Amino acid sequence: MKKISIIGVPMDLGQTRRGVDMGPSAIRYAGVVERLENLNYEVEDIGDIEIGRAERVPNTESNLKNLKAVAEGSEKLAAVVDKVIQNGDFPLVLGGDHSIAIGTLAGVGKHYKNLGVIWYDAHGDLNTADTSPSGNIHGMPLAASMGLGHPTLTGIAGYNPKVKAENIIIIGARSLDEGEKELIREKGIKVYSMHEIDRLGMTRVMEETIAYFKENTDGVHLSLDLDGLDPHDAPGVGTPVIGGISYRESHLAMEMLAEAEIITSAEFVEVNPILDEKNKTATVAVALMGSLLGEKLK
């Protein structure tokens, strides 16, 4: 069985609410290492990526907040993820805000010809500097990984793109900006919004997702934003959106992925313990990691 390497990314510069930099600590406190060791994995916590401070002078060249510090953190993360995969281990990245996916995918992408990406999220994170209503880079990582947006973000790790549009499946979307909707139409990105999840049920959504990836990709990265879940189940997030995926549906999704044995790397992001209720969101994240990595009742 593969060794799991845990990488913490205390990043909060991709958005403006304080506290999400403590996500990795909250997830460790919720017992991630023990949980996975109980599944008989060898687990190594390789600690946190060092995140710099935001530049004090506002960035005049673009509207992207903290561009330099986010890019530097992404480069470091990409290098560590790359090395973990080179060693033959499974990278499990703990966020931090979703901007860290730029670095994770930059590290993962070079190992696969046709990387699949599951974007489990209330949002599309498909903005660029031109379409972003906020300037927050955590709303841009999926676009950047496709090669769209500011060259500092698309060029992380020196190659581009990290993932092709046809290999992306978004699950749980219910808050998309106009520019994101246009991009989804233009590129034909597959989206199971809450409408499809309600209509088809999570079982069918995952069956279709798994079948597509088995046919078309040679590795699949799961990027799970805790705000994909309903705020009732995951209240500790910076951009909650009501009407989300339930805890139970999420477990089912993770269990189906485990059974299909298609996931080759994963990240769990946007856990903000300051906004949480008694570390509930980190605890939910750890429970979902358990299911994703094979935990079963019988």
Ligand X SMILES: NC(=[NH2+])NCCC[C@H](N)C(=O)O
User: Which of 81, 85, 122, 293: binder of Mn ion (CB under 5 A)?
Assistant: 122
Q: Are 102 and 74 in contact (CB under 8 A)?
A: yes
Query: In which residue are the tokens 């069985």 written?
Result: 1
CA distance 199 to 202: 9
| 82 counts as catalytic | no
| 97 counts as catalytic | no
Residues 128-167 that bind ligand X (CB under 6 A): 132-134, 136, 138-139
Q: Are 223 and 118 in contact (CB under 8 A)?
A: yes
177 interface partner picked from ligand X, Mn ion, none, CB below 5 to 8 A per type? ligand X
* Residue 177 among known ligand-binding residues: no
Under the binding rule (CB under 5 A), the answer on residue 121 touching Mn ion is: yes
- Write down the least CB distance from residue 228 to ligand X, Å: 9
| 270 counts as catalytic | yes
Under the binding rule (CB under 5 A), the answer on residue 28 touching Mn ion is: no
What DSSP letter does each residue of 246-275 carry, written as one string?
Answer: -HHHHHHHHHHHHHHT-EEEEEEE---GGG
**H or E element, residue 168:** strand 168-173
| 195 counts as catalytic | no
User: Which of 227, 267, 276, 295: binder of ligand X (CB under 6 A)?
Assistant: 227
Sole window of 6-14, 71-79, 120-128, 290-298 interacting with Mn ion (rule: CB under 5 A): 120-128
Nearer to Mn ion among residue 65 and residue 98 (C-beta): 98
* Residue 125 among known ligand-binding residues: yes
- Choosing from 12, 48, 89, 121, the catalytic residue is 121
What DSSP letter does each residue of 127-162 carry, written as one string?
Answer: --TTT-SS--GGG-HHHHHTT-S-HHHHTGGG-S-S
> 115-120 and 168-173: which strand pairing?
parallel
> 190-193 and 43-48: which strand pairing?
unpaired
154 interface partner picked from Mn ion, ligand X, none, CB below 5 to 8 A per type? none
Residues 267-286 that bind ligand X (CB under 6 A): 270
| 227 counts as catalytic | yes
Q: Are 99 and 13 in contact (CB under 8 A)?
A: yes
* Number of shown-chain residues binding Mn ion (CB under 5 A): 7
Nearer to Mn ion among residue 81 and residue 102 (C-beta): 102
Q: Which residues contact 236 (CB under 8 A, 6 or more apart)?
A: 26, 226, 271, 272, 273, 274, 275, 276, 277, 279, 280, 281, 282
CA distance 194 to 175: 10
Query: How many Cα neighbours within 13 Å face the side chain of 150?
Result: 24
Name the residue number minimizing CB distance to ligand X.
139
* Number of shown-chain residues binding ligand X (CB under 6 A): 15
- Write down the least CB distance from residue 107 to Mn ion, Å: 18
Nearer to Mn ion among residue 98 and residue 221 (C-beta): 98
- Which residues are known to be catalytic? 98, 121, 123, 125, 138, 225, 227, 270
Note the residues at the interface with ligand X (CB under 6 A). Answer: 98, 123, 125, 127, 132-134, 136, 138-139, 177, 225, 227, 239, 270
